Structure 1
Amino acid sequence: MTNGNGTPPETAPSPQLNVLAQYTKDFSFENPNSPASLAPQQQPPSINVQINVGASNVAENDYEVVLKVEGKAEHAGKLMFSFELAYAGVFRIVNVPQENLHPLVMIECPRLLFPFAREIVATAVRDGGFPPLMLDPIDFVSLYRQNMERQAAAQQQPS
């Protein structure tokens, strides 16, 4: 392909996303009512899990993305177990247009981190004496849109 004068067009550098590091930033698992909480139950526990994503620029093209996963299981009003995980990664992102950078950091980066966070939670719950908690896949696009809508609504409210 040529640019009309017989010479090949200038090619733009291709976008790159590199994982520089992944790590557990903070983790807590509590089983406060054991061994009673480990006894067989007639009904399954009520399980509540919340996911949040945060990011910060740590160098010119490097971003730390933190996936926060918090959850608890309760049965008959008693806490069976709870956990809090902050699983992070440092990502180098180059040759990405500015308008695409925020969605890339807040959607694709946590999507890459999630399987590792899921495994940490499943293993901790299993090691706490319960069946492994297999977190359902997360739609980070929907989570991103919800957060953007929430921020837009908060900015429109009078102070």
Structure 2
Amino acid sequence: MTEQASNGAAAQGEQNPQFSLQRIYVKDLSFEAPKSPEIFRQEWAPSLSLDLNTRQKALDGDFHEVVLTLSVTVKTGEEIAFIAEVQQAGIFLIRGLDAAAMSHTLGAFCPSILFPYARETLDSLVVRGSFPALMLAPVNFDALYAQELARMQQAGNAPAQA
């Protein structure tokens, strides 16, 4: 009876979803201040442009790499003060999810884990360039994921998902 219970638990354990963060790392980092030092002598009236992108790649077994890219361009007037970009990546072990749940996990949940690391890396990079800290606002990756799904469904590129 004990053997049957342990075999049943092992079989059930294989069916339970599993999620584990394996590693977080900076994949690429870039900073440019093309108008320095002149830009430091101008009045500071910044305008910020943020581009955000994610991509994922299946690795061996149930491991997946997710890369969150944040690209920031800050101008003061018409002059570019600086351009900063970080590719913050993570390796995640994910198993036992259906296709819709896997898509959501890779497209929204994993990027939301990576975002605070990317934000801190960008902030530190900008401060090292002698500019004021960025203090990027939090991002709702669930909403962005839902918008992207809707866009893809409208274009006929993705099946409807719950």
**What TM-score results when the alignment is normalised by the length of structure 1?**
0.85
Match of 1:81 in 2: 82
CA drift of 1:97 comes to 2.9
Tell me which of 1, 16, 19 is aligned to 2:21.
19
Letter in structure 1 aligned against 2:39: S
Count the aligned residue pairs. Answer: 147
- Where 1:59 maps in the other structure, the secondary structure is coil
Per-residue CA deviation, residues 66-109 of structure 1 (Å, 9 max, x unaligned), is 00101111111010000121111110012223331110111111
- Where 1:25 maps in the other structure, the secondary structure is strand
- Where 2:29 maps in the other structure, the secondary structure is strand
C-alpha separation in 1, matches of 2:26 and 2:104: 23
* Of 93-102 and 68-77, the range deviating more from structure 2: 93-102
Which runs of no fewer than 5 residues in structure 1 stay unpaired? 1-6
Which runs of no fewer than 5 residues in structure 2 stay unpaired? 158-162
- Where 1:102 maps in the other structure, the secondary structure is helix
- Where 2:59 maps in the other structure, the secondary structure is strand
CA drift of 1:141 comes to 0.4
Q: How does 1:1-159 map to 2 (within 5 A)?
A: 12-13=12-13, 14-39=16-41, 41=43, 44-155=45-156
Percent sequence identity over aligned pairs: 31
C-alpha separation in 1, matches of 2:150 and 2:51: 18
- Where 1:155 maps in the other structure, the secondary structure is coil
C-alpha separation in 1, matches of 2:117 and 2:32: 20
Match of 2:160 in 1: none
**What TM-score results when the alignment is normalised by the length of structure 2?**
0.83
CA drift of 1:40 comes to 5.3
C-alpha separation in 1, matches of 2:93 and 2:45: 43
Give the ranges of 4+ consecutive aligned residues of structure 1 lying more than 6 Å apart after TM superposition: none
C-alpha separation in 2, matches of 1:110 and 1:153: 24
